A and B are shown apart, each in its own frame.
Chain A
């Protein structure tokens, strides 16, 4: 089985390349990027603008395809999957947390968290129960029926985290999750993510500009000009 080859790694990136063409000009966004993360690892990707962080995140999130190389998530290669397989894969294995929260504004917090569960065979009642219980764990038990516009930034981001978490994914991809938040709320969100990676054994990859918050991570991947410049293993801050 494919899974045996990648043993303990939940995420394995091998020689990833991405070349964009704009007219005759080729832009090499990623070059020979390789790294592996274990179950429950909390990794940060840092680097200047245009370094290829977003491209890497999009490929990890299966919403963009690499020019060459392979990504294994939970031992499964993602590059060759078709549209419906990818949708299914994203639903079961991945969770997304965005800088702008990206909640559906017309729906309540509870309904937003319920959305990924609609793809499962769960009954509406079970779905609601599960969404409520996750929101409660994240301290939002009294905010279930509020719409995103009625919530603070930190609360909205926690709803987004609940949505990313609700299908028990292998990997959560967080793209500058603290970018729109003040220092205090940002700190809360980072601590929450770290707790999730620890307790639920979910691998988390986070893009950030803020060197302060990398101290909570197990690993920091520095990217520059599409290459992995440095891999930094951190001693975990208790």
Chain B
């Protein structure tokens, strides 16, 4: 028999019972869609975290401590061997009022040289960088200039003064600052650049009432010296300062994302297992209903193997159709979910100033004027920063993911279809014909 004859007979039989076939395909579709969506989403998150870490640079070491750092610390660190750069950062929370829009922001103080090093060259969306003097000139991140509470329209104009509040709503103090530039969008782990108002170190110190730096970013001369530099710094400061390298963060992030992916894929796999049971159930019913027809086919010369293939092909058609539909649905729902999650998290941050991203860092006891410190001290906290504010992610679809999802759907359907098809093929024509 020709393969297209099998396909045709299987197809004919499937279209005889459209509702049942559609529902079975739907079961496979849901299983495949959940696998595709979940894998693409976690891959998207992983990619965006890795991109941020790339921005941070593989040679970065992040220092944070409850007591903060002084210029003495900076010069001491600069004097260490294999250190190519030391970037002190002041960070606090605040909110900004412009056009009646209240936007929650991170107030960041960093030297112009420092931000250039941190971002590996600064790209301005509009305007220019602030000066290193104490003058209240600032640049703002993308989501500050285009807040989601303002439907993503531009809320700030370069050259216009805006009012910046530091501290909580009750005891807040306001300062009028001049916006000189808007930054391009950056995914950055140490500092949530997109939601930041960035200014010089002295300006930030004055505004936030700080005499110390919250975080110091140290760059080692190359990747092979990172660990020895980090070890040296740990030896100097002991347990009073947390020292984390980008590589440690990357490894931890990979581990966390890896185990989340495994868990999600197992859950999606369960829905595919349910689909397999559904296929087997439907095919067994179909074989039962078709018993008489099987007898007819055998009487006109169909072999056992022919009958087996006609029924197995039906499961395969269901598997392929469900797999393709599932990939389409998975791609769609991954985009949908990433849109929803980014939308929800950004409005959440804007709606609750101070309780958003920076809240998770609020372990520093010295909250001058209600401001909290950034303490990117642990990988977990760095991650929290990435997912809650500064990193938006797009699902990542790879040919591998889709091919594997389709293959799994087909294999699962084939396995589910083998037993019913085998039962059909083993029917004796004399018994099969007797049943009407």
Q: Enumerate chain A interface residues (CB-CB to B < 8 A).
A: 58, 61, 63-64, 83-84, 87-88, 90-92, 96, 98, 100, 102-104, 106-107, 115-116, 118-119, 124, 163, 167
Nearest CB to that of A84 among chain B residues? Answer: B303
How far, in whole Å, are A92 and B300 apart by their CA atoms in the complex?
Answer: 9
7 pairs, CB–CB < 8 Å, chain A vs chain B:
A84-B304, A87-B303, A102-B296, A102-B433, A106-B16, A107-B12, A118-B2
Interface readout for B136-169 with A: 1 if CB under 8 Å, 0 if not?
0000000000000000000000000000000000
Nearest CB to that of A166 among chain B residues? Answer: B300
CB of A61 within 8 A of CB of B299, answer yes
CB of A83 within 8 A of CB of B303, answer yes
Residues of B within 8 A of A102 (CB): 292, 296, 299, 433
Nearest CB to that of B292 among chain A residues? Answer: A102
The 5 closest A-B pairs by CB, nearest first: A91-B301, A87-B303, A63-B429, A63-B430, A116-B300
Nearest CB to that of A115 among chain B residues? Answer: B300
Given A63-B299, A90-B299, A90-B300, do A104 and B430 touch, yes or no (CB 8 Å)?
no
Nearest CB to that of A106 among chain B residues? Answer: B16
How far, in whole Å, are A221 and B292 apart by their CA atoms in the complex?
Answer: 29
Q: How far is the CB of B234 from chain A (nearest CB, A)?
A: 76
Q: How far is the CB of A48 from chain B (nearest CB, A)?
A: 20
The count of residues in chain B whose C-beta lies closer than 8 Å to any C-beta of chain A is 25
Interface hits, B1-38 → A, CB 8 Å:
1-2, 4-5, 12-13, 16
Residues of B within 8 A of A119 (CB): 1, 301-302, 306
B297 within 8 A of A: yes
Interface hits, B355-379 → A, CB 8 Å:
none
Nearest CB to that of B304 among chain A residues? Answer: A83
Residues of B within 8 A of A63 (CB): 298-299, 428-430, 433
CB of A104 within 8 A of CB of B301, answer no
Residues of A within 8 A of B303 (CB): 83-84, 87-88
Residues of A within 8 A of B306 (CB): 119
How far, in whole Å, are A133 and B93 apart by their CA atoms in the complex?
Answer: 88
B399 within 8 A of A: no
Interface hits, B268-299 → A, CB 8 Å:
292-293, 296-299
Q: How far is the CB of A12 from chain B (nearest CB, A)?
A: 22
CB of B1 within 8 A of CB of A115, answer no
Interface hits, B379-436 → A, CB 8 Å:
428-430, 433, 436
Residues of A within 8 A of B300 (CB): 90-91, 96, 115-116, 163
Residues of A within 8 A of B2 (CB): 118, 124
Q: How far is the CB of A73 from chain B (nearest CB, A)?
A: 14
CB of B12 within 8 A of CB of A87, answer no
CB of A88 within 8 A of CB of B293, answer no
Residues of A within 8 A of B4 (CB): 124
14 further interface pairs, Cβ-Cβ under 8 Å (given A63-B430, A115-B300):
A63-B299, A83-B303, A84-B304, A88-B301, A90-B299, A92-B301, A98-B433, A100-B436, A102-B299, A104-B296, A119-B1, A119-B302, A124-B4, A163-B300
Residues of A within 8 A of B430 (CB): 58, 63-64
CB of A118 within 8 A of CB of B429, answer no
Given A63-B430, A83-B304, A119-B302, do A104 and B436 touch, yes or no (CB 8 Å)?
no
How far, in whole Å, are A91 and B292 apart by their CA atoms in the complex?
Answer: 18
CB of B296 within 8 A of CB of A87, answer no
Q: How far is the CB of A62 from chain B (nearest CB, A)?
A: 9
How far, in whole Å, are A34 and B5 apart by their CA atoms in the complex?
Answer: 41
How far, in whole Å, are A84 and B1 apart by their CA atoms in the complex?
Answer: 13
CB of B433 within 8 A of CB of A87, answer no
How far, in whole Å, are A63 and B431 apart by their CA atoms in the complex?
Answer: 9
Q: How far is the CB of B279 from chain A (nearest CB, A)?
A: 20
How far, in whole Å, are A197 and B304 apart by their CA atoms in the complex?
Answer: 31
Residues of A within 8 A of B304 (CB): 83-84, 87
How far, in whole Å, are A100 and B436 apart by their CA atoms in the complex?
Answer: 10
Listed residue (A61, A64, A103, A106) with the most chain B CB atoms within 10 angstroms of its CB: A106
Q: How far is the CB of B430 from chain A (nearest CB, A)?
A: 5
Given A63-B433, A104-B293, do A118 and B5 touch, yes or no (CB 8 Å)?
yes
Q: How far is the CB of B309 from chain A (nearest CB, A)?
A: 12
Nearest CB to that of B6 among chain A residues? Answer: A118
Listed residue (B2, B13, B16, B303) with the most chain A CB atoms within 10 angstroms of its CB: B303
Residues of A within 8 A of B292 (CB): 102
CB of B1 within 8 A of CB of A87, answer no
How far, in whole Å, are A126 and B284 apart by their CA atoms in the complex?
Answer: 35
Residues of B within 8 A of A103 (CB): 296
How far, in whole Å, are A102 and B298 apart by their CA atoms in the complex?
Answer: 12
Residues of A within 8 A of B297 (CB): 104, 115
CB of B293 within 8 A of CB of A116, answer no
Interface hits, B325-372 → A, CB 8 Å:
none
Nearest CB to that of B431 among chain A residues? Answer: A63
